[in-house]
């Protein structure tokens, strides 16, 4: 697989955007009245996002959340995990040693061994291994709850996250931010945009960041750089073209976190249990997005786009051993480890086109979406592994070879004592997936108060899996097609309230095959919900914003479990798509702004997410009983954020505080290991001494709570950061 073919061109393009004089830029003050009217008309016709249509929030039969730019700034969120913490419907999942974003929505996750799928401007961007997502180039984060396969296509079972990027706004402005904080954090951000062309028909924008930081985890240091240039061309008052580039490079040590023993408890949260000499994992992503929008009239428009994304992931890691290879369970001090080298490469291409419009048939008003998309995903997994053997639980540690088991004293770590092992072959496979989809959605105004939504999507896909460890390599090919329906109804109680109900089906493809070589069936989801929405401004002159109540149930089938059928066990260890689970609960979401200058964000979720069948866990073969909870899925979770705007001596200022609560949750599927619930607090304050200058102070985990955010197993547990601060200065021009 050829990597980063476009990198020199992309970086040259980004550099060009930093020099606005390279294109003939007409000053805003020289524009004629007519020219200004043309530009204004373009903005009014504006951008339309894919898969959406023209609907007010009260008209949607779903409980979506918008985490906008103001809230991201107020909470100091700089990465996707921090943004998603604001939604109580989203819980953190296994983050692969800090190297990817993984989350569940309404209790359900996709594949615990892969990063979660998410969208960027409607393009699937969660595939591949690009490292954790930074938010510097993101305008807002949307949490779209419930299965959206009837529009978005294949996705995660509990919902979808969409990131809306920062695009040119056809104006000249910019800002620069510098942040300094605990553990020698140094972060610099820049955002500059301008216009070009004889009539300012080109909008140019470049956003970037650079960050270096140490950690509360001893010896752990990270380095991250990102560049996100974009250009928009207002071809006419009806047609626009947008191009965006994404480039991110990250160097992050692979950190599996802490280990837990029922007898000895957790290892110290500051002790890094890897090996600094292994070096960091390096991830890199280069992505391109093109979109063209054409408005045929005020009622009809076409949106078409192309996306290409190339990712790499490479590096060494010493990791904590499991079960019968783990000496920490024997003495509560000596940790045994194994070693892996990984190299993952992926390429993703997507094309789509969508027609949106509205018309009337008799007394009925129709708002229609019709579209098609094609995507191709190629992934190569290459893993080498060294792992020591099992030993009986009564073993005397003194009889084990420290170099063979890569021993580490967790209370007095001395790194580099053992030579780096020579790993052997473990995994080498190619995955290739082609998919084509067609979708249609019609929302019908049946009466002045009642709307009905009908949607349908047809998908056809083919998947090739090639095992390159075999001689000669073996390839299995499977294909399938699936129809995903959705139904919804919205009843307008009055101008400020609506009642809705919806039902949808979704699916997610699953790589691999059973003992007979048959491709696994897709993971299937059925979701139903009812809700009540309010536009608070319709009831109060002092408060504006939204308030939503929702009740939901999600059922999932074809979950991969261990195949305990005799004919399968006779041949070895295989998985079987026979597991089932369900999640049910309710949510309360509020986003309110007060005339007094106060703002309130509240998100609460209760989710009872459990297995509904008895089976064997796919990786360990342990028994999962019907009624057992899903991993990392708390029954209760809440986030509250409050801020107040005011003036100090004529200078604009803001203070705020937030609280995050996460309940107890299972930390190891099929085992009796639970992560304790926790509550953390944060406070911030900022002031603008001048119109262009701002200074801000943040204190996170204010009361220094000891907590754990997620886990894969009892020996791979992610600890939360102790109390820490950062100071940010910003200059706007």
Q: Look at residue 405 and tell me if it is in a domain.
A: yes
Q: How do residues 607-633 score in pLDDT, each as one tens digit? A: 999 999 999 888 778 999 999 999 999
Q: How do residues 186-209 score in pLDDT, each as one tens digit? A: 999 999 999 999 999 999 999 999
Percent of the chain with pLDDT over 90: 79
Q: Which candidate, 600, 579, 580, places its Cα nearest to that of 591? A: 600
- To the nearest 10°, the Cα dihedral for 87, 93, 96, 99? 0
Q: How do residues 120-145 score in pLDDT, each as one tens digit? A: 998 877 678 889 999 999 999 999 99
* Secondary structure (3-state) at 81: helix
**Which range in 26-30, 91-95, 473-477 is most confidently predicted, on average pLDDT?**
91-95
Number of domains in the chain: 1
Contact 630, 612 (CB under 8 A): no
Residue 435: count of CB within 10 angstroms of its CB: 21
Contact 227, 265 (CB under 8 A): no
**Cα–Cα distance, 401 to 387 (Å, whole number):** 13
Q: How do residues 363-372 score in pLDDT, each as one tens digit? A: 999 999 999 9
* Secondary structure (3-state) at 631: strand
Give the residue, 571 or 297, on which the prediction is more confident.
297
pTM: 0.91
Q: How do residues 647-679 score in pLDDT, each as one tens digit? A: 999 999 999 999 999 999 999 999 999 999 999
Domain residues for the domain of 150 are 7-420+430-732
Q: Look at residue 1 and tell me if it is in a domain.
A: no
Contact 263, 214 (CB under 8 A): no
The pLDDT assigned to 466 comes to: 92
**Cα–Cα distance, 501 to 504 (Å, whole number):** 11
Q: How do residues 234-244 score in pLDDT, each as one tens digit? A: 999 999 999 99
Q: Look at residue 425 and tell me if it is in a domain.
A: no
Strands (E), 45-172: 65-67, 90-92, 103-105, 119-120, 123-124, 138-145, 159-165
Q: Look at residue 21 and tell me if it is in a domain.
A: yes
Q: How do residues 284-328 score in pLDDT, each as one tens digit? A: 999 999 999 999 999 999 999 999 999 999 999 999 999 899 999
Q: Look at residue 187 and tell me if it is in a domain.
A: yes
CATH of the domain at 452: 2.40.170.20
Q: Look at residue 576 and tell me if it is in a domain.
A: yes
DSSP-derived secondary structure letter, 436: E
The pLDDT assigned to 47 comes to: 61
Q: What is the DSSP string of 468-492?
A: TTSSS-EEEEEEEEEEEEEEEEEEE
Helix (H) or strand (E) holding 71: helix 69-75
- Answer whether residue 532 shows pLDDT above 70: yes
Q: Which candidate, 563, 506, 495, places its Cα nearest to that of 535? A: 495
The pLDDT assigned to 655 comes to: 98
Q: Look at residue 173 and tell me if it is in a domain.
A: yes
Q: Look at residue 2 and tell me if it is in a domain.
A: no
């Amino acid at each position: 697989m050829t990597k980063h073919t476009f990198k020199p061109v992309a970086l040259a393009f980004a550099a060009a955007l930093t020099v606005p004089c390279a294109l003939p830029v007409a000053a805003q003050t020289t524009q004629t009245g007519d020219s200004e009217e043309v530009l204004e008309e373009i903005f009014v016709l504006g951008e339309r996002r894919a898969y959406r249509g023209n609907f007010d929030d009260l008209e949607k039969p779903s409980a979506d959340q918008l985490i906008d730019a103001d809230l991201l700034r107020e909470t100091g969120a700089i990465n996707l995990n921090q943004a998603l913490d604001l939604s109580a419907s989203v819980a953190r999942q296994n983050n692969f040693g800090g190297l990817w974003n993984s989350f569940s929505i309404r209790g359900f996750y996709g594949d615990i061994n892969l990063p979660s799928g998410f969208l960027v401007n409607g393009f699937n961007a969660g595939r591949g291994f690009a490292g954790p997502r930074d938010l510097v180039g993101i305008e807002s984060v949307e949490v779209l709850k419930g299965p959206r396969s009837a529009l978005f296509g294949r996705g995660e079972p509990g919902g979808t996250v969409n990131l809306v990027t920062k695009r040119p706004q056809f104006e000249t402005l910019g800002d620069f931010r510098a942040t300094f904080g605990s553990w020698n954090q140094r972060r610099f951000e820049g955002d500059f945009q301008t216009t070009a062309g004889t009539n300012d028909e080109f909008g140019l924008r470049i956003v970037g960041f650079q960050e270096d930081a140490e950690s509360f985890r001893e010896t752990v240091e990270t380095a991250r750089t990102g560049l996100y240039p974009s250009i928009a061309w207002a071809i006419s008052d009806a047609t626009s073209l947008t191009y965006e580039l994404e480039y991110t490079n990250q160097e992050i040590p692979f950190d599996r976190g802490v280990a837990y023993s029922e007898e000895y408890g957790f290892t110290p949260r500051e002790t890094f249990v890897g090996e600094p000499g292994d070096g960091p994992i390096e991830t890199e992503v280069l992505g391109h997005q093109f979109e063209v929008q054409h408005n045929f009239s005020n009622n009809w428009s076409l949106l078409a786009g192309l996306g290409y994304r190339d990712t790499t992931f490479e590096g060494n890691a010493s990791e904590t051993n499991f079960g019968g290879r783990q000496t920490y369970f024997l003495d509560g001090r000596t940790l045994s480890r194994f070693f892996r080298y990984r190299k993952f490469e992926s390429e993703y291409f997507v094309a789509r086109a969508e027609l949106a419009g509205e018309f009337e048939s008799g007394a009925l008003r129709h708002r229609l979406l019709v579209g098609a998309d094609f995507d191709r995903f190629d992934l190569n997994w290459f893993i080498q592994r060294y792992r020591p053997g099992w030993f009986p639980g009564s073993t005397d540690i003194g009889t084990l070879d420290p170099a063979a088991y890569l021993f580490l004293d967790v209370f007095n770590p001395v790194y580099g004592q053992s030579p780096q092992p020579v790993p052997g072959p473990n995994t080498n496979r190619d995955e290739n997936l082609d998919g084509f989809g067609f979708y249609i959605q019609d929302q019908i105004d049946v009466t002045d108060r009642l709307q009905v939504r009908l949607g349908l999507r047809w998908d056809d896909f083919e998947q090739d899996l090639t095992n390159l460890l075999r001689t000669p390599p073996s390839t299995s090919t499977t294909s399938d097609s699936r129809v995903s329906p959705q139904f919804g109804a919205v009843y307008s109680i009055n101008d400020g309230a609506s009642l809705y109900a919806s039902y949808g089906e979704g699916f997610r493809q699953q790589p691999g095959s059973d003992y007979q070589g048959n491709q696994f069936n897709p993971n299937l989801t059925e979701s139903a919900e009812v809700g009540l929405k309010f536009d608070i401004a319709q009831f109060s002159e002092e408060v504006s914003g939204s308030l939503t109540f929702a009740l939901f149930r999600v059922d999932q089938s074809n979950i991969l479990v261990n195949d305990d059928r005799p004919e399968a066990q006779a041949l070895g260890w295989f998985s079987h798509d026979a597991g089932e689970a369900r999640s049910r609960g309710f949510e309360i979401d509020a986003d309110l702004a007060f005339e007094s200058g106060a703002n309130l964000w509240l998100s609460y979720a209760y989710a009872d997410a459990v297995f509904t069948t008895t089976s064997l866990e796919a990786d360990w073969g342990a028994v999962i009983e019907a009624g057992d909870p899903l991993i990392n899925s708390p029954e209760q979770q809440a986030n509250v954020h409050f801020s107040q705007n005011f003036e100090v001596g004529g200078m604009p200022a803001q203070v705020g505080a937030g609280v995050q609560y996460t309940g107890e949750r299972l930390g190891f599927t099929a085992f009796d290991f639970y992560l304790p619930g926790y509550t953390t607090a944060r406070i911030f304050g900022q002031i603008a001494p001048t119109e262009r200058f701002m200074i801000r102070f943040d204190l996170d985990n204010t009361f220094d709570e000891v907590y754990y955010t997620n886990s894969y197993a009892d020996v791979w547990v992610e600890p939360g950061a102790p109390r820490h601060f950062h100071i940010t200065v910003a200059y706007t021009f």
